[in-house]
A and B are shown apart, each in its own frame.
Chain A
Amino acid sequence: MSLISKKALLKELINSVQDVKDRSWPNIMIGLHVDYVDTLNSNSKLIDTDMEDKKPIILGFEGTAHTAGVAVVRGEEIILNESETYFPPLGGIHPREASEFLGKHFPTLLETIIANLPFDVEKIDAVAFSRGPGLGPCLRITATIARAISLLLKKPLIGVNHCVAHVELGRIITPAVDPMVLYCSGGNTQLISFLNGKYRILGETLDIAIGNALDTLGRKLGLPHPGGPHIERKAKTGKKLLPLPYTIKGMSFSFSGVVTAAQKLISQQDVADICYSLQEYTFSVLAEATERALSCTKKESLLLTGGVAANMRLQEMMQNVATEQSVEFFVVPKNLAGDNAAMIALTGVRMFEKRDFITVDQSHVKSRWRTDNVEVSWF
């Protein structure tokens, strides 16, 4: 297939992906798949053998919940990183609407990426996508487009765990080598460290994530979604510490109770004080759990990652925890703290180096893929 026809095909494909609903494949992909299997049979290898000393170029797709992202990286260098985030007009994220948002924005994002690519599309070595965990409808949209591109370019497909990608991003762009990781975002809150070939979860939320807790209070206060940054702003003027529950169970924690308690205060107390108290209580719980995890595992650095890592008060507390435990503290930069495709592509590079591929027919999404179920071949 010549490059020109490939470009035309890409265009057709982009258009067809727009109509993808749930699991159905666009017709064009079925034809591509036959082509792909033929290549597999005849060539048995999808990658060049003289790749060894070259830095792999990976195209990454992120789409687990509210962010549609496409990125291209070469080795550890981020070349392009584009994303669109879904902001619900009212309430929280609706899975169907979020997935429709992704389906609508992936084609345009991809077009932007292809247009700005400093080299030929053919140079891409593999396609990585967020395979889980996340909202099923969103994951399926992302997987469909990644499969299509993988088939079109005849390049291997890499299924990346979203949570592990957050950790890997931190390990690549900060000097942290083998850190204790506090990954806190709107959907996950976990204390992760590497032990015996896998990322282990030492402690995690027993109900809702920290970002979810902040967003929930934000919604009740009438703040726009996501509520986290708005709560942080309001908390700056809060002075009075209101009594709230402080729930820590070993190294695990729970936030649903403290949010309910904070909600009950809404009509009686100053909004700034409520925001301030909620932040102080929940972040103190996180800090304490992190300190325990550090003292148990004796890791020499602490890494803060995930969307809530952008919160300055949380950063300040974690810095203090690190000082108390005499470990180094690293935090991912604000622009890469939230969900993004660069982290998927960067993890894809590591997995590419270990030839950790999946075939299209085995690339079903895993919406409940736990961090501690990922076989880490590349650490």
Chain B
Amino acid sequence: MMIVQGDFLVKGAEASIYTGFFLQSSVIIKQRLPKTYRMQQLDQTIRLQRLRAEARIMTSAWKIGIQVPVLLGINIDDQSLLIEEIPGELLFTVMSSTTRIALETIFESVGQQVGLLHENDLIHGDLTVFNIIIGENNTPWLIDFGLGQVSVEMERKADDLLTFYNTLKAISSDFQVLFEAFQVGYNKEYSKGRKTIEHTKKIQSRARYILPEERLE
């Protein structure tokens, strides 16, 4: 294998990302570094779990045809993944520079991708606007499957939706409109979409101090 490791790109919460070249195409190397705040034993288990989950879910999703970057290689020893580089911007960044009308279309297509993921019993685990890249022609790409899992449980899928709804609510005043657009796409691709959204409301009602008017409509 010929990997040319390039520059240090970004230090995320969980991993450090480096750019590189592999078979003449741009790649990124995502390495999960040990966390000093966690006990070593616990840290080791968690990191390995996440590496495996990420590789597994990404590959499965890619086989189905969901928009995810291609996984090119795994290195268990230094806990790193070799992943295709997706040119584009994070959905979070796009949100501040795009009109609401255009955003609604983007959110609908994000909903479609997530719907496809759930239709195939794949769970993202950390579905936020920071984990979606908007590429060329406003195509959404799902990234960062470290907390992902394979599950048929509706609870896990509803968790995904709730995480997404909550981050949306935290950063945008248009969250209701955007989440509605997301639901349209989601229901298109996922046969149990409506039921899952109903279940999301149920999970939400377990939370602390939720007022009726703040609940998901």
Give the interface of A toward B (CB within 8 A). Answer: 133, 188, 195-196, 200-202, 204-207, 241, 246, 248-252, 280-281, 284, 287-288, 291-292, 294-296, 316-318, 320-321, 323-325, 368-370, 372-373
Given A249-B125, A292-B14, A370-B209, A324 and B35 contact (CB-CB distance below 8 Å): yes
Contact of B171 with A195 in the complex, beta carbons under 8 Å: yes
Contact of A368 with B163 in the complex, beta carbons under 8 Å: no
Contact of A295 with B12 in the complex, beta carbons under 8 Å: yes
Please list 10 pairs of residues, one from A and one from B, whose beta carbons are closer than 8 Å in the complex, sorted by A's number: A249-B147, A250-B126, A251-B128, A280-B39, A291-B13, A291-B35, A320-B36, A323-B36, A368-B210, A369-B209
How does the 8 Å CB contact mask read for B36-79 relative to A, with 1 for contact and 0 for none? 11110110001000000000000000000000000000000000
Give the interface of B toward A (CB within 8 A). Answer: 11-14, 35-39, 41-42, 46, 92, 125-128, 130, 147, 159, 162-163, 166-167, 170-171, 173, 203, 206-211, 214
Contact of A249 with B163 in the complex, beta carbons under 8 Å: yes
- Give, as a whole number of angstroms, the nearest-CB distance from B34 to chain A: 10
Q: Which residue of B lies closest to A189 (CB)?
A: B208
Question: Could you tell me the distance between the alpha carbons of A204 and B35 in the complex, rounded to whole angstroms?
Answer: 22
Q: Which residue of A lies closest to B164 (CB)?
A: A250
Tell me the total A-B contact number using a CB cutoff of 8 A: 94
Contacts of A206 in B (CB 8 A): 203, 206-207
Partner of A296, one of B11, B36, B130: B130
Given A250-B127, A370-B211, A284 and B38 contact (CB-CB distance below 8 Å): yes
Contact of B38 with A287 in the complex, beta carbons under 8 Å: yes
Contacts of B41 in A (CB 8 A): 241
Contact of A284 with B208 in the complex, beta carbons under 8 Å: no
Question: Could you tell me the distance between the alpha carbons of A294 and B166 in the complex, rounded to whole angstroms?
Answer: 17
Contact of A246 with B46 in the complex, beta carbons under 8 Å: yes
Contact of B37 with A250 in the complex, beta carbons under 8 Å: no
Question: Could you tell me the distance between the alpha carbons of A195 and B173 in the complex, rounded to whole angstroms?
Answer: 11
- Give, as a whole number of angstroms, the nearest-CB distance from B92 to chain A: 8
- Give, as a whole number of angstroms, the nearest-CB distance from B147 to chain A: 7
Contacts of B38 in A (CB 8 A): 280, 284, 287-288, 317
Given A195-B170, A288-B13, A368-B211, A248 and B39 contact (CB-CB distance below 8 Å): no
Seed contacts A292-B14, A295-B12; 15 additional CB < 8 Å A-B pairs: A188-B208, A202-B167, A249-B125, A249-B159, A249-B163, A250-B147, A252-B166, A284-B37, A291-B13, A291-B14, A296-B128, A320-B35, A323-B36, A370-B210, A372-B170
- Give, as a whole number of angstroms, the nearest-CB distance from A239 to chain B: 11
Question: Could you tell me the distance between the alpha carbons of A296 and B214 in the complex, rounded to whole angstroms?
Answer: 24
Contact of B209 with A133 in the complex, beta carbons under 8 Å: yes
Partner of A250, one of B128, B206, B207: B128
Contact of A368 with B13 in the complex, beta carbons under 8 Å: no
Question: Could you tell me the distance between the alpha carbons of A325 and B41 in the complex, rounded to whole angstroms?
Answer: 22
Contacts of B14 in A (CB 8 A): 288, 291-292
Question: Could you tell me the distance between the alpha carbons of A146 and B81 in the complex, rounded to whole angstroms?
Answer: 59
Contact of B37 with A281 in the complex, beta carbons under 8 Å: no
Question: Could you tell me the distance between the alpha carbons of A316 and B37 in the complex, rounded to whole angstroms?
Answer: 8
Contacts of B125 in A (CB 8 A): 249-250
- Give, as a whole number of angstroms, the nearest-CB distance from B56 to chain A: 18
Q: Which residue of A lies closest to B167 (CB)?
A: A250
- Give, as a whole number of angstroms, the nearest-CB distance from B94 to chain A: 15
- Give, as a whole number of angstroms, the nearest-CB distance from A356 to chain B: 21
- Give, as a whole number of angstroms, the nearest-CB distance from A296 to chain B: 6
Question: Could you tell me the distance between the alpha carbons of A250 and B148 in the complex, rounded to whole angstroms?
Answer: 11
Top 9 closest pairs, chain A to chain B, by CB: A320-B37, A250-B163, A295-B13, A368-B209, A292-B13, A317-B37, A287-B37, A291-B13, A200-B170
Q: Which residue of A lies closest to B131 (CB)?
A: A250
- Give, as a whole number of angstroms, the nearest-CB distance from B90 to chain A: 10
Given A188-B208, A294-B13, A295-B13, A280 and B42 contact (CB-CB distance below 8 Å): yes
Question: Could you tell me the distance between the alpha carbons of A292 and B42 in the complex, rounded to whole angstroms?
Answer: 18
- Give, as a whole number of angstroms, the nearest-CB distance from B145 to chain A: 13
Contact of A205 with B208 in the complex, beta carbons under 8 Å: yes
Most buried by B among A201, A207, A292, A373: A292
Contact of B36 with A204 in the complex, beta carbons under 8 Å: no
Question: Could you tell me the distance between the alpha carbons of A97 and B39 in the complex, rounded to whole angstroms?
Answer: 40
Q: Which residue of B lies closest to A187 (CB)?
A: B208
- Give, as a whole number of angstroms, the nearest-CB distance from B208 to chain A: 7
Q: Which residue of B lies closest to A370 (CB)?
A: B209
Contact of B208 with A204 in the complex, beta carbons under 8 Å: yes
Contacts of B35 in A (CB 8 A): 287-288, 291, 320, 324
Question: Could you tell me the distance between the alpha carbons of A244 and B170 in the complex, rounded to whole angstroms?
Answer: 30
Contact of A281 with B36 in the complex, beta carbons under 8 Å: no
Question: Could you tell me the distance between the alpha carbons of A288 and B173 in the complex, rounded to whole angstroms?
Answer: 27
Q: Which residue of A lies closest to B147 (CB)?
A: A248
- Give, as a whole number of angstroms, the nearest-CB distance from A294 to chain B: 7
Contact of A202 with B206 in the complex, beta carbons under 8 Å: no
Question: Could you tell me the distance between the alpha carbons of A370 and B11 in the complex, rounded to whole angstroms?
Answer: 32
Question: Could you tell me the distance between the alpha carbons of A331 and B127 in the complex, rounded to whole angstroms?
Answer: 30
Q: Which residue of B lies closest to A244 (CB)?
A: B42
